[in-house]
Amino acid sequence: MEEELRALLRDLDALKQRPDPAAIDRMRERVAGMVTPVAVAAGAAARSKIKDMSAEVVDSNPYSRLMALQRMGIVDNYERIRDYSVAIVGIGGVGSVAAEMLTRCGIGRLLLYDYDTVGMTKTDAAVQTLSGINPDVALESYSLNITTVKGFETFLGSLKARSSDGHNTGVDLVLSCVDNYEARMVVNQACNELGQTWMESGVSEDAVSGHIQLLVPGETACFACAPPLVVASGVDERTLKREGVCAASLPTTMGVVAGLLVQNALKYLLKFGQVSPYLGYNSLKDYFPTMEMKPNPQCSNPACVQRQKEYMQLKPARDAAAKAKMEAEASAADECPVHLDNDWNIRQVIPHDCIVVDDSDTATPSILSTGTDSLPEGLVRELPNADSYQEPVAPVTSGAIDDDDLEELQRQLDALNSS
C-alpha cells in the first residue's frame, strides 16, 4: 500500500508539470483498486452462517464461550437454544436490548413486534441490526399495533404459525416489553387464549424501578387476575413532580430489567437454575423483592378461568410425575452423598422476603393498595380492583329502551353533532 501511494505521489508531481487526461484516468483506476468497495466491506464484517454450535475455541467460532456453560455443567444442553422461538412485543428501551441479548446467545428464532417507526419501521431496523450481529438467528418483523382488533388477529396468528423451515411450531416464550398497561392486557389476552407461557417486564414511570414476572396461563396469576404490581421507589408520591412530564426514562434501568428478563427466559428455556415468578428491582435502594401469585378463580378474563380449569384437571397426572421424579432423585442421592464436610461454614440463605400471595379469595380491598394487602415490603398495587356492582347512581342505559337499533342511535348522535 505504502509503495503504491509513493508511486501515485510521483505521478501526481509529473501531472503538475504536464496535464494529461489519460494519465488522470489511469490514476483514478489505481486508487479505486486500492479501496475496498463498500458492499464488500459490509459483507466481510458480517460472518457467514454457522451450521452447528461447537465448543471449539477458534477465532471463527463465536459460540465457544456459550458452549462452555455446558462444559462447566451449568446448562445440560446449550445447543438446544437454536430450537427455540421467542416473541418480543415492544422494541423500545427494554425490548431492543433483550432482542440483542437473545441474538448474541444464538436463539433460534425471534419474532419482533412494534407499531412505531424510526425512519423505517422499528422492527425492520431491529432486524437489520440483529442480522449483522448474528446471522444464524431467524428474524421476523411485525410492524403492527397489537391493541387494535386487526393487529391483534395478526399477532395471534403469528404466534401460532410455524416457522418457515417447519422446525418449530409456534413460539416457546413471549416476552412483553411494552411500556403501557393497555398493551400488557392485550399480550395477556393472547397468551391466555393460546395457553402460552410469557414473561412480563416493566419500568416505572419515574424510571428508577422495574420488575419482571413469569405468567403461565392457568398455573400462575394472569395479568388481569389482580391489579398490577409496581415496585415502590420509596419516593413520596406527593413530592414527585409530575407537572409538564409524562414519564421519565433511564437506559440503565431499562438495561438491567432487560438483563433480568432475558436471564429468566434463558433459565426457563434451557432448564437451569430457578426461574423467578416475580422479581422486582428498586434501583434507589438496590432492593429486589420476590413473590409468587396464584390465579384468581374469579378473574375477569374468561380465557384465564378456562386455563385454570384445565390446569386443575391435570393435577393427578402432575402429582404422579412429581412423585416419580422425587423418588428417582432420592435413590440417586443415596449413592453419592455430597459435601459432608463444610470447611467454609457456608449455609444456604433463605430469602426472607419471598412470600406467596394467594389472591384466590377475592375479598381484596377495592381501594388503591397501600402495600398492606399481604404484599412483600416494597411492592404496591398500581390500580384498584373494580368496584363490585352497586346500585348505580346515574341511570343505567340498558333496559327499557333496549329495542333501539344501533343505526338509529348513530343517526341520533349524527343529528346532534350537526345541530
Partner 1 sequence: MEGWDKGTKSVVGEIPLLSTRAGPRDGEAWRQRLKEEYRALIAYTSVNKSKDNDWFRISAANPEGTRWEGSCWYVHNLRRYEFPLQFDIPVAYPQVAPEIELPTLDGKTHKMYRGGKICLTVHFKPLWAKNCPRFGIAHALCLGLAPWLAAEVPILVDSGMVKHKDDEAAPADAAAASGSAAAS
Do residues 261 and 201 touch, judged by C-beta distance below 8 A? yes
Using rule CB under 5 A, residue 293 touches Zn ion: no
Q: All 3 cell numbers of residue 70?
A: 455446558
Residue 303 binds: one of partner 1, Zn ion, none (C-beta under 5 to 8 A by kind): none
**Which residue in 163, 203, 204, 171 sits closest to 187, CA to CA?**
171
Q: Least distance in Å: CB of 365 to partner 1?
A: 11
- Range 88-111 burial, b when 16+ CB lie within 10 A, else e: bbbbbbbbbbbbbbbbebbbbbbb
Q: Which residue's CB is nearer to partner 1, number 338 or number 394?
A: 394
CB of 307 to Zn ion, least distance (A): 8
The answer to whether the CB of 39 falls within 8 A of the CB of 48 is no
135-172: buried (b, 16+ CB within 10 Å) or exposed (e) per residue?
Answer: ebbbbbbbbbbbbeeebbeebbebbeeebeeeebebbb
Q: Select 189 or 282, whichever has its Cβ closest to partner 1.
A: 189
Q: Which stretch binds Zn ion (CB under 5 A): 26-34, 227-235, 295-303, 334-342?
A: 295-303
Work out what residue 400 binds among Zn ion, partner 1, none; the CB cut-off runs from 5 to 8 Å by kind. none
Interface with Zn ion, residue 291, by CB under 5 A: no
Residue with smaller CB distance to partner 1, 119 or 316:
119
Residue 222 near which of Zn ion, partner 1, none (CB within 5-8 Å, type-dependent): Zn ion
Contact letters for Zn ion, residues 210-229 (x by CB under 5 A): ------------x-xx----
Eight-state DSSP code of residue 363 = -
Would you call 246 a catalytic residue per the annotation? yes
Tell the smallest beta-carbon distance from residue 15 to partner 1 (Å). Answer: 46
Q: Is 199 in the site for Zn ion (CB under 5 A)?
A: no
| Residues near partner 1, by CB under 8 A | 115-118, 145-149, 152, 179-182, 185-186, 188-189, 224, 227, 237, 242, 244-247, 300, 366, 368, 383-387, 392-398, 401-402, 404, 406, 409-410, 412-414, 416-417, 419
- The length of the chain is 419
- From the candidates 177, 225, 246, 299, which is the catalytic residue? 246
User: Could you tell which of Zn ion, partner 1, none binds residue 350, using a CB distance below 5 to 8 A set by kind?
Assistant: none
Choosing among Zn ion, partner 1, none, which partner's interface includes residue 246 (Cβ < 5 to 8 Å by kind)? Answer: partner 1
Minimal distance, residue 301 CB to partner 1, in Å: 8
Does 139 interact with Zn ion (rule: CB under 5 A)? no
Cβ proximity of 123 and 115 under 8 Å: no
Return the SS3 of 113.
strand
Put residue 195 in one of left, alpha, beta given phi > 0 → left and psi -120 to 50 → alpha.
left
Give phi and psi for 230, each to the nearest 5: -130, 150
CA distance 337 to 329: 12
190 touching Zn ion, by CB under 5 A: no
Considering only 183, 266, 304, 357, the residue that binds Zn ion (CB under 5 A) is 304
Judged by CB, which is closer to partner 1: 228, or 259?
228
What is the per-residue DSSP string for 182-205? Answer: HHHHHHHHHHHHHT--EEEEEE-T
Helix (H, G, I), strand (E, B) or coil at 74: coil
230 binds, among Zn ion, partner 1, none (CB under 5 to 8 A by kind): none
By CB under 5 A, name the binding residues for Zn ion: 222, 224-225, 299, 301, 304
Active-site annotation, residues: 246
